Amino acid sequence: MATQRRQSPSDHRNAPHGTGGTTPASRSHEEKSPNEGEGSRSAARDYNQRTQRFIHEGRVDRSAEEAKHAVESGERDKLEEAERIGRGHKRS
Average pLDDT, integer, range 12-23:
50
Q: Any idea of the CA torsion for 37, 41, 45, 51, to the nearest 10 degrees?
A: 50
Q: In angstroms, how far is CA 11 from the centroid of its own chain?
A: 33
Q: Note the pLDDT tens digit of each residue in 64-90.
A: 999 999 989 888 899 999 999 999 986
Q: What is the pLDDT of residue 58?
A: 93
Q: What is the pLDDT of residue 45?
A: 94
Q: In angstroms, what CA-CA distances link 65 with 20, 53, 54, 59, 68?
A: 60, 19, 15, 10, 5
Percent of the chain with pLDDT over 90: 43
pTM above 0.75, yes or no: no
